[in-house]
A and B are shown apart, each in its own frame.
Chain A
Amino acid sequence: MRQGEHMLNIGGLHEGVVLDHIPAGKAMDIYKRLKLDKLDCQVAMIMRARSNKMGQKDIIKVEAPLELLNLDALGFIDHSITVNIIKDAVIVEKRKLNLPKKLVNIIHCKNPRCITSIEQGLDQVFYLSDPADEIYRCVYCDEKYHSSKK
């Protein structure tokens, strides 16, 4: 089978970012978490595309500069996602994601005893306390964040 023979093709991107190798079915979640609906640009979402590597995958194409995407949020959601940076319709860089050391306003502390539950205007900040087990803790109260994927 030639590569791309069964791929669904969406119009090529001239300038922007392609998020590839998103686990199938997760694109909508990423769309929301990256707040792509707030960006004034074209976004194409391809769901359950065939993939040699993954069987099925999701892809998001965003016609916006990389700076507008929260890579920390993306790294937290899934650091195996590939970030392709497109300039003049060609991939100029493939950016690898890391598990971010710090998350700001991406997840919220659920500890009712935490100061974030009463103090107005505080950023929700989590730090990576255990990279091996991908455990994040609230910077204020050390409450563990229970991620749905773990």
Chain B
Amino acid sequence: MRHCMSPLDFTVEELDHMMDLASDIEKNPDRYSHVCDGKKIATLFYEPSTRTRLSFETAMLNLGGKVIGFSSAQSSSAAKGESVADTIRVISCFADIAAIRHPKEGAPYVASLHSGIPVINAGDGGHQHPTQTLTDLTTIRAIKGHMDHLTIGLCGDLKFGRTVHSLISALVRYPGIRFILISPEELRIPDYVREDVLKKNNVPFEEVIRLEDAMPELDVLYMTRVQKERFFNEEDYVRMKDFYILDAEKMKLAKEDCTVLHPLPRVNEISVDVDPDPRACYFRQVQYGVYIRMALIMALLDIPESRQFLGDEFQACGKEE
């Protein structure tokens, strides 16, 4: 039995196969509409995240399965003091697979140690959010047609944004990737990402402050929100906030085939005048999130229709202890 704790739990090849399955689901949704008949997913959300929870639930419903779960710690036994380990032991009697969102880092991993069913980490504090990364990778591959030899711009809060750290760690495994990291000085990527991930893998990258400076070079622009409270003072925020707002004017500097992504929710960092631009792909990204979650659920449940893409060895090679 395999779980999904981090995007790096899967090899590049396994991810490729899973994305092939997601792509087939996109083309032939009817073929997969009953492959999980009789199966149930438990969405155990100890903190609210409507978007991620609904994406998992939609994925299971699209596969013909059913959904149980809770959407906040208050409505679960956690409020009575039940441990994560006990909760998953109980849920293992009810459901076939579980997706867990928890404010404490490592909680889904603890669940996986005691679970009788596959566990998916649906976000644990500032640590990991693997299905967001799988969504990002799937979107890039679906739109670009490949994952290698791309110049990827990551813009905004690169210090606290776990989606950014996770995406960088996943992308460095592909050849010819180059990063342009666009952020204010205060919100540059943490040292461990710069040293342990980028430099250690000899991945070329540059750090710039203004989005306009990077725009013409980018194949992919991944936007994130710059929150006012992250700045040390109001003056800096006012001076810089416009650097990180993407609008139609800045899009004029971008390549014709630049792909703009955003993990959402968006506040004001992408102006609505960018939405009609065919290069704005953040809502398609949400749709790909459903496809790849469908593929992941099928893979972890070892649904026969997934084996032609993943091979029999997928279940055999679990995470190394």
Q: Which A residues form the contact surface with B (CB < 8 A)? A: 111, 113-122, 130, 138-144
Inter-subunit contact A119/B105 (CB<8 Å): no
Residue in B closest to A142 when the chains form the complex, CB atoms? B127
Q: What are the 10 closest A-B residue pairs judged by CB atoms, nearest first? A: A140-B106, A141-B105, A115-B106, A115-B104, A115-B107, A141-B106, A113-B125, A113-B105, A114-B105, A115-B110
Q: What residues of chain A lie closer than 8 Å to B126, measured between beta carbons?
A: 113
Inter-subunit contact A117/B104 (CB<8 Å): yes
Given contact pairs A111-B105, A114-B106, A119-B83, enumerate 12 new A-B contacts (beta carbons under 8 Å).
A113-B103, A113-B126, A115-B107, A117-B104, A119-B110, A121-B83, A122-B110, A139-B106, A140-B105, A141-B106, A141-B125, A142-B105
Q: What residues of chain A lie closer than 8 Å to B85, measured between beta carbons?
A: 119, 121
Known: A115-B102, A115-B104. A140 touches B110 (CB 8 A): yes
Q: What residues of chain A lie closer than 8 Å to B104, measured between beta carbons?
A: 113-115, 117-119
Partner of B106 from the list A116, A121, A130 (CB cut-off 8 Å) is A116
A142–B109 Cα distance when bound, in Å, is 11
A and B contact pairs by CB, cutoff 8 A, 16 listed: A113-B104, A114-B104, A114-B105, A114-B106, A115-B105, A115-B109, A115-B110, A116-B106, A119-B104, A121-B83, A140-B105, A140-B106, A140-B109, A141-B106, A141-B124, A141-B125
Known: A113-B125, A120-B83. A138 touches B192 (CB 8 A): no
How many chain B residues touch A (CB < 8 A): the figure is 17
- B196 within 8 Å of A by Cβ? yes
B98 to chain A, nearest CB (A): 16
Q: Which B residues form the contact surface with A (CB < 8 A)? A: 83-85, 102-107, 109-110, 124-127, 192, 196
Task: State the main secondary structure of chain B at its contact with A.
Answer: mixed
Residue in A closest to B321 when the chains form the complex, CB atoms? A102
Q: What residues of chain B lie closer than 8 Å to A122, measured between beta carbons?
A: 110
Residue in B closest to A102 when the chains form the complex, CB atoms? B321
Q: What residues of chain A lie closer than 8 Å to B192, measured between beta carbons?
A: 144
Q: What residues of chain B lie closer than 8 Å to A119, measured between beta carbons?
A: 83-85, 104, 107, 110
Inter-subunit contact B106/A138 (CB<8 Å): yes
B132 to chain A, nearest CB (A): 17
A117–B102 Cα distance when bound, in Å, is 13
Residue in A closest to B107 when the chains form the complex, CB atoms? A115
Residue in B closest to A129 when the chains form the complex, CB atoms? B196
Q: What residues of chain B lie closer than 8 Å to A139, measured between beta carbons?
A: 106, 109
Q: What residues of chain B lie closer than 8 Å to A115, measured between beta carbons?
A: 84, 102, 104-107, 109-110, 124
Q: What residues of chain B lie closer than 8 Å to A118, measured between beta carbons?
A: 104
Residue in A closest to B85 when the chains form the complex, CB atoms? A119
Inter-subunit contact B196/A130 (CB<8 Å): yes
A89–B110 Cα distance when bound, in Å, is 47
Residue in A closest to B106 when the chains form the complex, CB atoms? A140
Residue in B closest to A117 when the chains form the complex, CB atoms? B104
B121 to chain A, nearest CB (A): 11
A139 to chain B, nearest CB (A): 7
A145 to chain B, nearest CB (A): 13
Residue in B closest to A109 when the chains form the complex, CB atoms? B106
Residue in B closest to A123 when the chains form the complex, CB atoms? B113
Residue in B closest to A118 when the chains form the complex, CB atoms? B104
Q: What residues of chain B lie closer than 8 Å to A120, measured between beta carbons?
A: 83
A113–B104 Cα distance when bound, in Å, is 5
Q: What residues of chain B lie closer than 8 Å to A111, measured between beta carbons?
A: 105
Q: What residues of chain A lie closer than 8 Å to B110, measured between beta carbons?
A: 115, 119, 122, 140
A141 to chain B, nearest CB (A): 4
A122–B83 Cα distance when bound, in Å, is 10
Q: What residues of chain B lie closer than 8 Å to A141, measured between beta carbons?
A: 105-106, 124-125, 127
B150 to chain A, nearest CB (A): 26
Residue in B closest to A111 when the chains form the complex, CB atoms? B105
Residue in A closest to B84 when the chains form the complex, CB atoms? A119
Q: What residues of chain B lie closer than 8 Å to A113, measured between beta carbons?
A: 103-105, 125-127
A141–B124 Cα distance when bound, in Å, is 9
Q: What residues of chain A lie closer than 8 Å to B127, measured between beta carbons?
A: 113, 141-142
A146–B300 Cα distance when bound, in Å, is 36
